[in-house]
Amino acid sequence: MKHEVSSARYWNIQECTIPVGRVTIITSFCKGGEDCDECIKFCPEKVLELSTIRNERGFFPPVLVDEEQCTVCGRCQLYCSENAIFVEKIGERVVTPDEIAPREENSQ
C-alpha cells in the first residue's frame, strides 16, 4: 500500500501573504535631518532615506527608496512627532522563499 501524507499538514508558502503599504510624507511638516530621523531609523524594511533637498522650513524630509517593501508595520507613523508621515494598506502579496530564507549574516 502506498503511504501518502496529506499536503494539508504542511505549511504552504504560496498561501503566505503580507500587507503592501502606501507611504505618504507631508514634507512641509517634517523636521528631518539633525533633529530627527526616527521614521528612517525605525523602519525595519529600509523603505526610507533622508532627502538631500531641504523643505521650506530648512529640514530634510525622508524620501521613499523602496516603497514596495513596506509591510504597513506603522513604526514610521508611530515615531513621527510631527504627524508628517502616514501609511495605509493597499493590498497583500505573497512572501517569496528568498525573503524567509536565513540570511547569511544571521546564520553564523
User: Which stretch in 3-11, 38-46, 89-97, 100-108 sits in contact with ligand SF4 by CB under 6 A?
Assistant: 38-46
Distance CA 82, CA 86 (A): 11
Which residue, 6 or 38, has its beta carbon nearer to ligand SF4? 38
Using the structure block, give the residue that is written with the C-alpha cell 503566505: 16
DSSP 8-state class, residue 77 = H
Core vs surface per residue 12-25: b (16+ CB within 10 A) or e:
eeeeeeeebbebeb
Q: Which three cell numbers stand for residue 33?
A: 535631518
Report the residue from 18, 31, 49, 95 that binds ligand SF4 according to the rule CB under 6 A.
31
Candidates 20, 22, 45, 51: give the one binding ligand SF4 (CB under 6 A): 45
- Residue 39 binds ligand SF4, judged by CB under 6 A: yes
CB of 54 to ligand SF4, least distance (A): 12
Residue 73 makes contact with ligand SF4 by CB under 6 A: yes
